[in-house]
Amino acid sequence: MIKYLIKRLLMLPVILLFLSMLIFSLVMFLSPYERLAVFIPNADAVGSSIPFDELVSKYGLDKPFYVQYWDWIQRVAHGNLGWSPSARMPVADALKRYFPATVELMMMGGLIVFAGGIYLGTKSATNHNKFFDQAARVATTIGVSLPEFIFGLLLLVFFYGILGVLPPGQMSAWAEDVVYLGTFRHYTGFLLMDSLLNGELYIFWDVLKHLILPALAYSIGLLSVMQRIVRSSLLETLKKDFVTTARAKGLAESVVIKKHARRNSLLPVITISGSMVAKMLGGAAIVETVFNYHGMGMFIVVAAQGLDFPAILGSSLLIGVIIVVTNLVVDILYTILDPTVTLE
Amino acid sequence: MEKLKQFFKNPLGVTGFILILFWLIVALFAPVIAPSHSNNSPYMIERIGFSSLPVPPSEEAPFGLTSGGYNIFYGIVWGSRTAFRVGLIVVSSTLVIGVLLGGVGSFIGGALDNIIMRITDLVMSFPFLIAVIIMSIVLGKGIDKLIIALILFGWRNYARVMRSEVLSIKERDFVSAAYSLGMNRIRIFLVHIVPNSIFSVFVLASLDIGTMVLISASLSFIGVGAEPGYADWGQMINFSRNWLLGTIDNPMIYWYTYFYPSIAIFSFVMGWTLMGDTLRDVLDPKMVKR
């Protein structure tokens, strides 16, 4: 087990190296001039007075792939991810600022997906082919087919447009005034945590209110997937002998389901949680754009629209790290929960 | 035939089939349903006037006009062609790539299999949506470029599924029998391995058509997909973003700008999801009892 862990941890930098090469080579499809243009605001207005060729060779944009890659990776190793023109700050600072917001969104969404999926899946399996199960089947089919941005827009129209509650954005204007004031200390970068640590309960409540709709919007599809997985896995487990034994012992049905059957059917949930994290990171790009929520997803979208490749490279690298680490954690969790799985 | 009968006995499957049939007819008869009146490419949404405010449904434009005078009805009818094009081209190409990579890799085994699977892992270790966003930025705007971007990263699931199928099929007795009869490996692969392992890939494909259309709509929505004015459902929802909340006294005043395109995407994707789910139930005997 420990040997396996060390092996996996040693593989981590290798995977990241290849991933960074893949992403870097994608960006290299752009011509040197296109990559330069990002750094020259109002290029059209200034016109021909810009010494494009000189600048391209000055920053080494026309050098071969491996030279540019090596330069870039060296800078990354020193924590320098470059300057992001679209965010008007260094990429590292931008990520520090936007990433926590996305994590908060993902945690909120994850809570809905896992808690909701397991609860509803159990309910479907225990009411197999009865009304609840059939209704859930229809609902999950709709959930899988409903794009995040459409669901998000509908939520926005209904809750904000018609009911006038749960506005878009990250927080209200008055909360922003407080948060960016000097006296508000940013301990963790996570707004929910920081507002609690600063004792600003009103801000905590305000931020939470802004989180609900985006979290709902992008968990709907994953919630449907999770519900189906839990349902079919639990149905399978309920047929096993040990469940019959538990029932024969005279245990209450709720104990049989919750303590015996459900625990043994949650392995597929662990298996899929790795790919769920990847899907959530992707979904964040769409949902954050819909709700004008300033997180990493929106940062990537804005950067992409502005051909801001330092920002794209930096955030891709961060995403790569998160996913590789998540997959490692999932694999380890797997061995802990299922004694029949051994890692070599 | 038996399977086909089973498919059409399932009400959900039939609903999906009808939805897809409906959109297929709309796509095929687009020039009749919504004739183009301009000299531009028919795939550019017809504009009636250039009003900056949306115009409610009228005789001329049954679903109304969105800001800029774009005819919503026209966009939806021609957008169905875009949806089919994206879905079918992307899924058929990724399917072939995935089946070949995953199938050949695991059939031959050894170092080749290892290399292919490591590449697949690498591609899988990155969110699909973000990879496609980056790629379509690099390639530039346009639905064709979006299709290329989707193909470049879309094959990974097929490769994985195909690989695991082939791994079990190639150990079967009939494959050994074919070897002992002296068949060559290419023939065994094409005649025995592929037809016996491709069903689960097909199920994945029918679910994927919906997903790919959904993703391309999402990308058009955030403005990195189709070029402005192109008949694409995601883009039409993007047009409606500024009109979502209506006016203060009537929040629903511009409902038609987002209602019709949303229904179009939703029903199209749901059609494929229902068909895929039913196909899986019918083709996979293990799933039937659930």
- pLDDT value of position B289: 42
| Contact residues on chain B for A218, CB-CB shorter than 8 A | none
Interchain proximity B214–A156, CB inside 8 Å: no
Predicted confidence band of residue B26 (pLDDT cuts 50, 70, 90): very high
Identify which of B12, B126, B270 has the shortest CB distance to residue A19. B126
Predicted confidence band of residue A115 (pLDDT cuts 50, 70, 90): very high
Interchain proximity A27–B134, CB inside 8 Å: yes
Q: Cα B283–B285–B287 angle (5° rounding)?
A: 95
The verdict on A106 touching B (C-beta cutoff 8 Å) is: no
Q: Which amino acid is at A255?
A: V
Identify which of A150, A281, A307 has the shortest CB distance to residue B130. A281
pLDDT above 60 (res A130): yes
Residue of chain A minimizing CA distance to B266: A146
| Contact residues on chain A for B126, CB-CB shorter than 8 A | 19, 22-23, 278, 316, 319-320, 323
Q: How far apart are CA A225 and CA A234, in angstroms?
A: 14
Higher pLDDT, B61 or B166: B166
Residue of chain B minimizing CA distance to A297: B130
Predicted confidence band of residue A185 (pLDDT cuts 50, 70, 90): confident
The verdict on B288 touching A (C-beta cutoff 8 Å) is: no
The verdict on B96 touching A (C-beta cutoff 8 Å) is: no
**For residues A339 and A138, is the Cβ–Cβ distance under 8 A?**
no
CA proximity to B255, closest of A161, A323, A93, A18: A161
Instruction: Quick: pLDDT tens for B126-184.
Output: 888 888 888 887 888 888 889 999 998 889 888 888 888 888 888 888 888 888 888 88
Identify which of A19, A29, A156 has the shortest CB distance to residue B122. A19
- pLDDT value of position B290: 39
Q: How far apart are CA B101 and CA B120, in angstroms?
A: 9
Q: How far apart are CA B106 and CA B169, in angstroms?
A: 10
Interchain proximity B266–A281, CB inside 8 Å: no
| Contact residues on chain A for B240, CB-CB shorter than 8 A | 153
Is the ipTM of this structure higher than 0.95? no
Interface mutation vs chain A, best among B12, B128, B133, most A CBs within 10 Å: B133
Per-residue 3-state assignment (H helix, E strand, C coil) for chain B: CHHHHHHHHCHHHHHHHHHHHHHHHHHHCHHHHCCCCCCCCCCECCECCCCCCCECCCCCCCCCEECCCEEHHHHHHHHHHHHHHHHHHHHHHHHHHHHHHHHHHHHHCHHHHHHHHHHHHHHHCCCHHHHHHHHHHHHCCCHHHHHHHHHHHHCHHHHHHHHHHHHHHCCCHHHHHHHHCCCCHHHHHHHHHHHHHCHHHHHHHHHHHHHHHHHHHHHHHCCCCCCCCECCHHHHHHHHHHHCCCCCCCCCCCHHHHHHHHHHHHHHHHHHHHHHHHHHHHHCHHHHCC
Token reading at A208:
């939470």
SS3 A90: strand
A37-49 average pLDDT score? 62
CA proximity to B54, closest of B257, B275, B200, B224: B257
The verdict on B134 touching A (C-beta cutoff 8 Å) is: yes
Interchain proximity A19–B135, CB inside 8 Å: no
Instruction: Quick: pLDDT tens for A144-177.
Output: 888 888 888 888 888 887 887 878 877 777 777 7
- pLDDT value of position A308: 81
Identify which of A145, A150, A162 has the shortest CB distance to residue B251. A162
- pLDDT value of position B288: 44
Identify which of A23, A145, A235 has the shortest CB distance to residue B273. A145
The residues, ordered by sequence, that sit 6+ positions from A121 with a Cβ below 8 Å of its Cβ are A226, A227, A228, A229, A230, A231, A233, A234
Interchain proximity B125–A320, CB inside 8 Å: yes
Identify which of A26, A145, A148 has the shortest CB distance to residue B138. A26
Predicted confidence band of residue B90 (pLDDT cuts 50, 70, 90): very high
